[in-house]
Amino acid sequence: MLKSIVFLAALMSSSVLFCIAAERSNLHSDALFTDSFKVNEIADLGHPVCTLTQSNNTSEELFDYVEGDICPVGSGACTYSAIIKLNGKMLTLKRIQSDKTTSTFKNNDISITTIQSSLQKSNMEEEGNDVKLSITIRARNSEKKFYLSGYCGI
């Protein structure tokens, strides 16, 4: 009987430790990775303003980072947000600060800071242009920087 109790206690404690270690806020920067996704996977996206990819992404339909208005049905209010698939989970972060080249987005666990610059030989158009973006993702105990390129425009 005592062996069974000790065995069950050991199983339960290892499960709790596993869950704590897997919590997003405890991830180390080496454990942060982005996944590509299609724009139509984003619920309530009114219009994608920026669609960006990492250099190793060669698909024209898949993106690693998207910005745009999220407009939940029936709420009437849209929120400009960043969407990223981090460690297999689609995340939407609301913009909390912005100036001409820098924006900060945040949800409960993670913040993203972006710094945008136009490409040297950019397709400058009235509606938008090709850009490169430096993205810094911060969780409680980790930080990782990614470099993306793509298009931002109306």
pTM of the predicted model, to two decimals? 0.74
* Long-range contacts from 92-95, C-beta under 8 angstroms, 24+ separation: 92/42
What whole-number distance in Å separates Cα of residue 80 and Cα of residue 88?
22
Domain ranges of the chain: 27-153
Tell me 41's DSSP state: G
| pLDDT tens, residue by residue, 85-138 | 998 999 999 999 999 899 999 999 899 999 998 765 545 556 778 999 999 999
Instruction: Using DSSP, state whether 19 is helix, strand or coil.
Output: helix
The number of beta carbons lying within 10 Å of the beta carbon of residue 67 is: 23
